[in-house]
Amino acid sequence: TSADRGAFSGRTAFIFAAIGSAVGLGNIWRFPAVAYENGGGAFILPYLVALLTAGIPLLFLDYAIGHRWRGSAPTAWRRFKRWTEFIGWWQVLIALIIALYYALILAWATNYTIFSLDQRWGDDPAGFFGEYTQALGGAEATISFDIVPAVLVSMIIVWLAVIIVMALGVQKGIAASSVVFIPLLVLMFVILVARALFLPGAIDGLEALFKPNWGALLDPSVWIAAYGQIFFSLSVAFGIMLTYSSYLKKKTDLTGSGLVVGFANSSFEILAGIGVFSALGFMAQAQGVAIDEVVTDGVGLAFIAFPAIISQAPTGAGTLIGVLFFGSLVLAGFTSLISIVEVVIAAIQDKFGFARIAATLWVCVPLAVVSTALFSTTMGLPLLDVLDKWANEYGIVAAALVSTIVVTYVVRGLPTLRDHLNHQGTFGIGTWWLVCVGVIAPLVLGTSLVLSTRDLLMDPNTYEGYPGWFVFVFGWLMAIGLVVIAIGLSLIPWPAGSNLHKDD
């Protein structure tokens, strides 16, 4: 007798949860720099092409598998074709790794929301961040393992919040928090953008971002970058959208929902681009340097450039921008983190037929303990760097490549899935979808995998200058280990109480 899997109350709840997952750090700290470096205003062309030929088609694929086969990643894949169960476990393990370090970024952002109030970083944000994380970067990275108390406390808070939301379940936890947090996030970000636009130099920043470099379109790496951004940004092939769509009623318009999610996510990327480049334009002017010299992304943008911007902005404006920017990171990151954790909880719940709270505790308590123990130490930053790189390249990209090839050519399941989508969809999908999923996506994913492997192996230095053993263990060994463990897990029989044989 297995417990209820949970469900979304309707299409709106699902759309909010899916937007909550999609809109994340990738929109705020990744998209603006990627667009700037890959043709500026001209990037819109490869970006839209990638959205329409791969992002939305793969989103539909995730939806179709999860909704047609109604289960967590391992259950849905197994029902699709028994031997493909390992792909589901692979997605679960990737989610597990990402959740471990995503919580660290949230913990930092939480602390920096508070630090913004008194601009605690003084006039040396980079030095402050180094002290705060106590991480030695680059070539000097002697990997050490000392507790960083300021991070420890906020890591615990982040995990407690995750546990509460996840225990509340699919509708009252996941959907309800997205229904509240996503509009709040949009409101905060719009105010942030409006204020940043009036900083001196903001317009130069926007000109730099939107100035089209049409020549860039001839460079294949620009196209790869566009597809890479779209895959990551839409959370496709993580098992997330698959899991979420399994909580939808049988009669639900999947394709219409997918379009809403896809365009909402891209709109937030453009909005973030405007906010971030207004702020960077101001920073360049304040420091009397070219925009090019201040453009960064990721951790450097959030925790070094933004504190500098906040300090240089007029009093009042700085605090406002700081609280809104870091608060936005917290909200965007939180709704993404719960979507990753749900992939794991759903799998455990299906496998053992656990009730919601039991599944939540079995997954989240060990995850919280390991994540906090590993990442609130001096090893946090280097570990995040390496895991993030490999989990993306050899986790998500590789898993997406394998799934599209398996579905299209080995199982030949695309026509069934297309028919399923067409059953309820507001608009029909046809041959173009088969071509996108079966030809375009595998080609782009395969190319990007080959190119990044070449870059990693040809680089005379190890990744980011970290010690060789460290990159080997937490990069290569971790990535290959996940596949091996996933295959092992797929061979373990399902207990009698599991959800596998239950029809809902």
| Positions in the binding site for ligand PHE (CB under 6 A) | 21-22, 24-27, 98, 232-233, 235, 238, 240, 336, 339-340
DSSP state, residue 501: T
Instruction: Select the binding partner of residue 340 from ligand PHE, Na ion, none (C-beta < 5 to 8 A, by kind).
Output: ligand PHE
CA distance 500 to 504: 10
Pick out residues in 250-279 that bind Na ion (CB under 5 A).
265
Of 21 and 278, CB closest to ligand PHE: 21
What 3-state class would DSSP assign to 6?
coil
**In whole angstroms, how close is the CB of 388 to ligand PHE at the nearest point?**
10
**In whole angstroms, how close is the CB of 398 to Na ion at the nearest point?**
20
Two structure tokens written together for 180: 């509240």
Of 77 and 101, CB closest to ligand PHE: 101
The C-alpha angle with vertex 375 and arms to 372 and 123, in degrees rounded to 5, equals 120
The phi, psi pair for 439, rounded to 5°, reads -120, -60
Q: Does 245 bind Na ion (CB under 5 A)?
A: no
Tell me which residue of 142, 134, 105 sits closest to 466, measured CA to CA.
Answer: 142
CA distance 457 to 479: 15
**In whole angstroms, how close is the CB of 16 to ligand PHE at the nearest point?**
15
Of 98 and 444, CB closest to ligand PHE: 98
CA distance 351 to 35: 42
**In whole angstroms, how close is the CB of 26 to Na ion at the nearest point?**
4
CA distance 380 to 398: 25
The phi, psi pair for 377, rounded to 5°, reads -120, 175
Instruction: Select the binding partner of residue 25 from ligand PHE, Na ion, none (C-beta < 5 to 8 A, by kind).
Output: ligand PHE
- The correct pick among 233, 371, 378, 499 for binding Na ion (CB under 5 A) is 233
- Binding letters toward Na ion, positions 11-50, x by CB under 5 A: -----------x---xx-----------------------
Tell me which residue of 107, 125, 104, 152 sits closest to 388, measured CA to CA.
Answer: 104
**In whole angstroms, how close is the CB of 200 to ligand PHE at the nearest point?**
30
Tell me which residue of 19, 17, 61 sits closest to 269, measured CA to CA.
Answer: 19
Radius of gyration of the chain (CA): 22
**In whole angstroms, how close is the CB of 157 to ligand PHE at the nearest point?**
20
Bridge partners of residue 40, in order along the sequence: 212
Of 173 and 281, CB closest to ligand PHE: 173
CA distance 467 to 238: 29
Instruction: Select the binding partner of residue 261 from Na ion, ligand PHE, none (C-beta < 5 to 8 A, by kind).
Output: none
**In whole angstroms, how close is the CB of 302 to ligand PHE at the nearest point?**
12
Of 26 and 71, CB closest to Na ion: 26
Instruction: Select the binding partner of residue 98 from ligand PHE, Na ion, none (C-beta < 5 to 8 A, by kind).
Output: ligand PHE
DSSP state, residue 427: S
CA distance readout (Å), 438 to 258, 423, 452: 19, 21, 22
Of 26 and 318, CB closest to ligand PHE: 26
Number of residues near Na ion (by CB under 5 A):
5
**In whole angstroms, how close is the CB of 363 to ligand PHE at the nearest point?**
16
User: Which residues of the chain form contacts with Na ion (CB under 5 A)?
Assistant: 22, 26-27, 233, 265
